[in-house]
Structure 1
Amino acid sequence: MSTALVAAMAKMTDAIGSAHWFDAVLNLLGTVCAIDSGGVMVYHRAQRPRRIVHRFNPQERALPEDAYLSGPYVLCPNYQLFAQGCPSGIYWLRDIAPDDFYESEFYRVFYSQIGLSDSIDLLWRINEDTALNIFIERSIRHAKFQLEDMVAINMLLPLIFASAAKHHELTVATSQRDIDTLTHRKVQSTIENFASSLLTQRERQVLFYMISGYSSALTAQRLSTTEGTIKIHRKNIHRKLDISSQAELFSLFINCIPYAVPDGQADPLEAYQSTPQSRRSVSLLEAAPRVREPRTTEVRPKNA
């Protein structure tokens, strides 16, 4: 065990109960594997995620920092895993992402615009409806995480989770920010009601899998039907919504979030389409300039 690792473990333990604990955890993880960016957020079922700390290079990101929290988080594989009730553990993006994730509009419009090639999440369940999510990331300038990184982090996991439990016990906050709750209710309403005036319930189920990066084959598996049936549903969705690409579908979904009625049943697409174009809200994703994705470096020195 290296001197740097021992020192980082001691600093994390000493920081329990203080605002410095989250940075101390990221510093500890950085002693066992190379990290380009990372942070900590709290996932909630009843409100949007709450960011606690986020380390990143703003020069590598073409999107505003709040773009993720404005709605796209609901399409994130890690958030979806949390919402499905996954247990506390370590989750590597390559293991949890849908099979078409890297070809999805969510990846192209969001992930590629924030300069990421890979991520590992340490999710600690606070309770059934809340979880602390510690995430570390690799830039597209560097190679993705390797198996040895997962092994090294797994060795620290019991210590980090025990530390998280004690930290939570000492600092638990009972308040919720109204803006977080309202945003999440709008996102949830969009998921439940988007295009409900035009599509069948089954078509809307297929639609959500489409924008989340699932292939027709994997969607068929999840919905217990055939790939051919899913392809027919996809074709009908494009025809009924008068769109011709995944990009148009993703953009339409994101743009409808501000028009959703929290806890209501109205189709936000109807409200969006009935609003004059000059008065329509522009999402944070659309407002940001696009950058060309650099080529990923496949080899990274071990001493980097």
Structure 2
Amino acid sequence: MNIQIERFSTVIDAVATRQFYPCLLAYLEDFLAFDNAIVYAFEQGQQPHCLMKAEKENSDAVNQLYQQGAYLEDPFYRALPCAGHGKVFTLRELVPCGFYQTNYYRHFYRKTGWHDEAGMLLQLTPERGLGVFFGSCRQTAGRRYPRLADLREALTLVKSVVRLHNEVVSVNRPLSTAPLPDSATQARYALTPREREIVDLILSGNGSQQIAERLFISLGTVKNHRKNIYGKLNIGSQAELFSLFLSAPLQRMA
């Protein structure tokens, strides 16, 4: 069983803080393939509330369309009443025949830029549900099948800690008012898994030669990765990289 207990402790430590969902997504990356993510709270009789958004291209305007009514046609939202035990669904499992000709797809979904999607659905209370949606712009999103058994075990932990977070936060304020993530969280999801790994090593004090040796790649490859990282994050130096990520230490690449 490989459910990354040490990494999960970071999620537990983040309960009732604004870092909870970024830490949860970082943990789930070991089990799920995605490059975009968004978390919604669904409360009975209300429009959904966005708790976290970490996407490369999707605009706030597109997400407003979802919250204003498109969610009612969302196959994942419709599956929520049947997903109380917490399960990861893929878009292919849920979409009806002819999905790509529906109004939901033509007038909303294709505007998101997502090529594929998976979602973890949790019924937290009889009135409140949570959707954690994982998207990909260029590849298949969803379960990493060699780790499927581990995913089932991990979801048992995830369900419990999400419910705990919901209960603690609800004592002090409605779940819908949780702050949105800062620029470091957004920047994190602009990078590939390999680039995040390299950023983590840089932040840990490793130079390019050390990184090359640790990852068994050439020095030139490391330099190319660093160039791409700087370009994606719109920065020009290692100092700026430290400034961006170390201002929010809980969002390191771990």
Which band: TM-score by shorter chain? Answer: 0.5 to 0.7
Contact 2:48 2:67 in 1 (8 A): yes
| Structure 2 counterpart of 1:105 | 103
Q: Which residue of 1 aligns with 2:123?
A: 125
Q: Which residue of 2 aligns with 1:96?
A: 94
Count of residue pairs the alignment pairs up:
173
Is the alpha carbon distance of 1:23 and 1:175 closer, same or farther for their aligned partners in structure 2, counting shifts above 3 Å? closer
Identify which of 121, 145, 148 aligns with 1:148: 145
8 Å CA contact 1:39, 1:53 repeated in 2: yes
Tell me how far 1:123 sits from its aligned partner: 1.5
Give the conservation status (yes or no) of the 8 Å contact 1:63–1:113.
Answer: no
Which has the larger Rg?
1
Partners of 2:146 and 2:127 in 1: how far apart?
29
Asked if structure 1 preserves the Cα contact closer than 8 Å seen for 2:83 and 2:122, the reply is no
Scaled by the length of structure 2, the TM-score of the pair is 0.60
1:161 to partner: Cα distance: 0.6
Matched, 1:77 2:75: yes
C-alpha RMSD of the superposition: 2.7
Structure 1 SS opposite 2:32: coil
Aligned match of 1:191: none
How do residues 191-230 of structure 1 correspond to structure 2 at under 5 angstroms? none
Percent of paired sites with the same residue:
20
Alpha carbons of structure 1 residues 175 and 29: separation in structure 2 relative to 1, 3 Å: closer
Counterpart in 2 of 1:35? 34
Distance between the aligned counterparts of 2:36 and 2:160, measured in 1?
24
Cα 1:44–1:144, aligned 2, differ >3 Å: closer, same or farther?
Answer: same
Corresponding residue for residue 218 of structure 2: none
Kindly indicate whether the alpha-carbon contact (under 8 Å) linking 2:37 and 2:54 is maintained by their aligned counterparts in 1.
Answer: yes
Structure 2 Cα separation of the partners of residues 171 and 63 of structure 1? 27
Structure 1: stretches of 5+ with no match in the other structure? 178-304
Q: Which runs of 4+ in 1 moved over 6 A?
A: none
C-alpha distance in 1 between matches for 2:10 and 2:100:
37
